[in-house]
Amino acid sequence: MNWVTIKRIFRTGFLSFWRNGFVSFASVLMMVFTLFIIGLAIFTGVILGTTLQQFRDKADMNVYFTTDAQESQILALQTQVNALPEVASTQYISATDALANFRELHQNDQLTLQALDQLGNNPLGAVLNVKAKDINSYGAIANFLQGGGALQTGQPQIIDKINYFDQQHQDAVNRLSQITTSAKWIGLIIILIFVLITIAISFNTLRLTIYASREEIAVMRLVGAGQGYIRAPFLVEGVMYGFIAGIVTMLLFYPLTWWLGQSTASFFGGISVFSYYIDHFALLFLIIVGSGVILGLISSYLAVSRYLKI
């Protein structure tokens, strides 16, 4: 197939698209709805996924030591905790640093700072911050510490208390994870429904186009036009439906994400849908426009195969 033939095929497809403006508009509009749902599913998944990951990242354990605990004992305990397979990292905060952090946290509370100064000594002990590889592992790490497994027999107790990501917080994360999974499945079902509706509408639109072009098709058959040459313009027309719908959908998402950007950033803890739209524009363009082109191509191929018998 030479370049002149290709140009004729695309020109015929474009002319057919504009000539059947109303039915083309109906197909494009339905595709816009479908692609818009796909885009919403992407943004919803990103928001829920990021929120869930933030919950997971904030999970940690703080081991508070008594004020008479020796630094050498704490460092030895830190070495043993680091050796546990469940532990990702640990951070040792000395009693001096803990006091400095406390003062900074309450810098606007003069009553608390005055009471602290009147004590004359540091009432805070050192702290060991522990990050686990999995949020389900904090209970096992706490049992190791509370059971005395980290301390030698006869050694005085140096652990004052342990605060960690407990079962209540774990349940909240599990519920959010279930909501995220359910939202993905619901979104997928809705997308499939709209995809089927879009294919059906585009299919019928192209059927009408084929019927309206029956005389032109008959003439092309008489002059010996090949099967591919007759069918190709209708495939081009279907691709145009999807391409234009994809462009329109991407344009619609710009003001929408800009309007919702600040709200999602403040409500969901830092994730802005507008920033995501800008930063991942190329990927979103590929997904949205590519999905539209594929939908249009499938619809036109089915319609041509069903109604254009050559």
Summarised one tens digit per residue, pLDDT across range 275-300 is 888 888 999 999 999 988 888 888 87
Q: Which residues contact 198 (CB under 8 A, 6 or more apart)?
A: 27, 30, 31, 33, 34, 295, 299
Task: Kindly tell me the burial class for residue 198, based on how many C-beta atoms sit within 10 Å of its own C-beta (0-12, 13-18, 19 or more).
Answer: buried
Summarised one tens digit per residue, pLDDT across range 8-30 is 766 766 776 677 677 778 788 88
In this predicted structure, what is the pLDDT of residue 252? 92
Mean pLDDT within 106-116? 72
Q: Rounded to whole angstroms, how far apart are CA atoms 100 and 124? A: 10
Using alpha carbons, select from 199, 209, 198, 228 the residue that is nearest to residue 15.
Answer: 209
In this predicted structure, what is the pLDDT of residue 227? 61
**What are 126's two structure tokens?**
């050192």
Q: Where do the H-state alpha helices sit in 84-166? A: 95-105, 110-119, 138-146
Using alpha carbons, select from 238, 180, 176 the residue that is nearest to residue 207.
Answer: 238
Mean pLDDT within 183-209? 77
Domain 60-164 has CATH 1.10.3210.10: no
Residue spans of the domains in the chain: they are 3-55+171-307, 60-164
Mean pLDDT of the chain: 77
Q: For residue 106, name the pLDDT band (cuts at 50, 70, 90).
A: confident
In this predicted structure, what is the pLDDT of residue 247? 93
At what angle are helices 167-212 and 214-222 packed, to 10 degrees?
60
Q: Higher confidence at residue 217 or residue 251?
A: 251
Q: Tell me, what DSSP letter sits at residue 156?
A: P
Percent of the chain topping pLDDT 90:
6
In this predicted structure, what is the pLDDT of residue 13? 67
| Beta pairing partners, 65 | 159
Q: Rounded to whole angstroms, how far apart are CA atoms 41 and 31? A: 15
Does residue 248 surpass a pLDDT of 90? yes
Q: Higher confidence at residue 219 or residue 36?
A: 36
88-102, 119-133, 134-148, 216-230: lowest mean pLDDT where? 216-230
Percent of the chain topping pLDDT 70:
75
45-59, 155-169, 202-216, 238-252: lowest mean pLDDT where? 202-216
Does residue 148 surpass a pLDDT of 60? no
In this predicted structure, what is the pLDDT of residue 171? 67
Q: Rounded to whole angstroms, how far apart are CA atoms 273 and 194? A: 23
Residue 173 CB neighbour total at 10 angstroms: 17
Mean pLDDT within 50-70? 78
The CA angle 112-163-106, to the nearest 5 degrees, is 20
Strands 127-132 and 159-164: unpaired
Q: Higher confidence at residue 308 or residue 245?
A: 245
End-to-end CA distance of the chain: 19
6-15, 146-155, 190-199: lowest mean pLDDT where? 146-155
- Kindly list the strands in the beta sheet with 159-164, ordered across the sheet, starting from the edge strand earlier in the chain: 87-93, 127-132, 61-65, 159-164
Query: Got the DSSP string for 75-95?
Result: HHHHHHHHTSTTEEEEEEE-H
Return the C-alpha torsion angle 133, 135, 137, 143, nearest 10: 130
